[in-house]
């Protein structure tokens, strides 16, 4: 354990608030892992947030988001939709099933640092399409060489 600096010594540059914040994040992550392990849910996102606009929510009439949630993070409570943040994996199933645009808003961060925000099924589908297109393009570039590389290989084979 560190001791207080003696008279005339400079104190070490440890930020106690940063240490507390890091400890809190580690504890929260460990708790999430413990909660999600029995469900078998896999986390694809580093962090995220979900907000439900209860003013425009038609939860009484539909409850579709509750049925769509794979981790049961959404539940019915006292006339409105409730949320257990620790269970949410920010998959977007609730947004896809919601009958009201901009009712549920999800912001999530991928391990690459890319931040995605969507609140309409169309936005979600468009984002997934662009991600899949990017992945396909990367695979094509791995399999098929660039034109210059192809021509160089062809020149080497020719006598």
CATH of the domain at 139: 3.30.70.20
List Cα–Cα distances, 147 to 45, 88, 143, 144, in angstroms: 36, 45, 13, 9
Number of domains in the chain: 1
What's 86's DSSP letter? G
pLDDT more than 70, % of the chain: 84
Evaluate if residue 40 carries a pLDDT over 80. no
Higher-confidence residue of 145 and 131: namely: 131
Evaluate if residue 74 carries a pLDDT over 60. yes
* 7 lies in some domain: no
**Contacts for 64 with CB less than 8 Å, ≥ 6 apart:** 97, 98, 99
* 5 lies in some domain: no
* 22 lies in some domain: no
* 131 lies in some domain: yes
Given this model, what pLDDT does residue 28 score? 75
* 24 lies in some domain: no
* 29 lies in some domain: no
* 123 lies in some domain: yes
Contact 61, 92 (CB under 8 A): no
Out of 14-23, 29-38, 83-92, which region has the weakest mean confidence (pLDDT)?
14-23
Contact 85, 73 (CB under 8 A): yes
Dihedral class, residue 42 (left if φ above 0, else alpha if ψ from -120 to 50, else beta): beta
Confidence band, pLDDT 50/70/90 cuts, at residue 1: very low
Kindly compute the dihedral angle of the four CA atoms of residues 103, 108, 114, 116, in this order, to the nearest 10 degrees. Answer: -10
| Site of tokens 């509750």 | 66
Does the pTM surpass 0.85? The reply is no
* 9 lies in some domain: no
* Domain enclosing residue 42, as ranges: 34-157
């Amino acid at each position: 354990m560190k001791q207080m600096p003696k008279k005339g010594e400079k104190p070490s540059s440890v930020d106690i608030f940063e240490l507390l914040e890091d400890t809190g994040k580690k504890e929260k992550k460990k708790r999430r892992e413990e909660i999600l392990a029995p469900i078998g849910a896999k986390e694809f996102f580093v962090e995220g947030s979900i907000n439900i606009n209860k003013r425009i929510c038609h939860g009484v009439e539909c409850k579709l988001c509750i049925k769509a949630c794979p981790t049961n993070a959404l539940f019915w409570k006292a006339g409105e939709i409730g949320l257990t943040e620790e269970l949410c994996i920010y998959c977007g199933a609730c947004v896809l099933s919601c009958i009201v645009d901009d009712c549920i808003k999800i912001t999530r961060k991928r391990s690459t640092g890319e931040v995605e925000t969507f609140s309409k099924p169309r936005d979600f589908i468009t984002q997934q399409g662009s991600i899949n297109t990017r992945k396909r393009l990367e695979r094509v570039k791995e399999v098929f060489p660039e034109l210059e590389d192809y021509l160089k290989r062809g020149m080497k084979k020719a006598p």
